[in-house]
């Protein structure tokens, strides 16, 4: 009997895999986590967020959501600098392209910029185990951030929000340059915070304080 809806892709792959021995056949297994790492592209994004306090929301796509950390001082390219990253609730994937103004009175009211975006690649074979252990090593392929990084959990808050540290590993992308000051424009629109606030009828004066002094408007 014909079904009106096609079988889910996952189920079709299960059958595909059941019929094959990938230790023997050179055919692809189609597994997202093979020994060579994930084949799927995983989204990475940092949103600069001028809410009650300026912070940078660091997000990594995993299992259909964006794992999220709020980093008050933003990332540092200097391996000797450890930046506090407070884990917050998972966000939907679509959130990664949001740039605009969250209205006054709403949660997180203020200006949001897509400060950096690209892909990430785990450096571990088991991301879930690494997250549970509290040490996730990965590579970033963004417009601004690149190379090898680690998130290390330091403690759990009473609220259940855990504190982590984001640290740059030593590689060719490590530098003492202040990346927030050097590259303040949106990775999505090239706009500054003030530009985004103005377009979204937000608080331009407050947003402008998050732009480095003397940065020319677009």
Instruction: Tell me which residues touch Mn ion (CB under 5 A).
Output: 49, 57
Count of CB atoms situated within 10 Å of the CB of 159: 7
Question: Which residues, in sequence order, are CB contacts of 53 under 8 Å at separation 6+?
Answer: 72
49 or 117, CB closer to Mn ion?
49
Considering the complex, what minimum distance in angstroms separates the CB of residue 203 from Mn ion?
A: 16
CB nearer to Mn ion: pick between 70 and 127: 70
Instruction: Specify the residue, 112 or 167, whose C-beta has the smaller distance to Mn ion.
Output: 112
* Cα separation, 218 vs 83, whole angstroms: 30
What's the min distance (Å) between Cβ of 55 and Mn ion?
6
Which residue's Cβ has the minimum distance to Mn ion? 49
| Distance in Å, CB of 91 to Mn ion, minimum | 10
Rounded to a whole number of angstroms, the minimum distance from the CB of residue 162 to Mn ion is: 16
Structural contact between residues 182 and 157, judged by C-beta atoms closer than 8 angstroms: no
Give, as one character, the DSSP assignment of residue 10.
H
DSSP notation for 53-72: SEEEEEEEEETTEEEEEEET
Task: Using the minimum distance from each CB to Mn ion, give the nearer residue, 113 or 179.
Answer: 113
């Amino acid at each position: 009997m014909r079904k009106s809806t096609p079988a889910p892709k996952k189920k079709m792959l299960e059958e595909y895999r059941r019929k094959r021995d990938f230790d023997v056949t050179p055919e692809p297994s189609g597994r997202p986590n093979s020994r060579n790492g994930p084949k799927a592209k995983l989204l990475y994004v940092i949103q600069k967020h001028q809410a009650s306090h300026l912070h940078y929301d660091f997000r990594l796509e995993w299992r259909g959501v964006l794992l999220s950390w709020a980093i008050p001082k933003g990332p540092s390219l200097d391996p000797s600098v450890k930046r506090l990253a407070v884990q917050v609730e998972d966000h939907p994937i679509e959130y990664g392209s949001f740039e605009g103004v969250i209205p006054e009175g709403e949660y997180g009211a203020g200006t949001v910029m897509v400060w950096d975006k690209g892909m990430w690649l785990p450096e571990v074979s088991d991301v879930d185990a690494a997250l549970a252990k509290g040490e996730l090593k990965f590579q970033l392929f963004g417009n601004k951030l690149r190379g090898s990084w680690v998130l290390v959990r330091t403690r759990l808050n009473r609220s259940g929000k855990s504190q982590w540290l984001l640290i740059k590993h030593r590689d060719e992308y490590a530098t003492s340059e202040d990346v927030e000051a050097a590259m303040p424009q949106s990775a999505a629109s090239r706009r500054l915070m003030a530009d985004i606030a103005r377009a979204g009828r937000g608080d331009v004066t407050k947003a402008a304080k998050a732009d480095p002094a003397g940065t020319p408007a677009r």
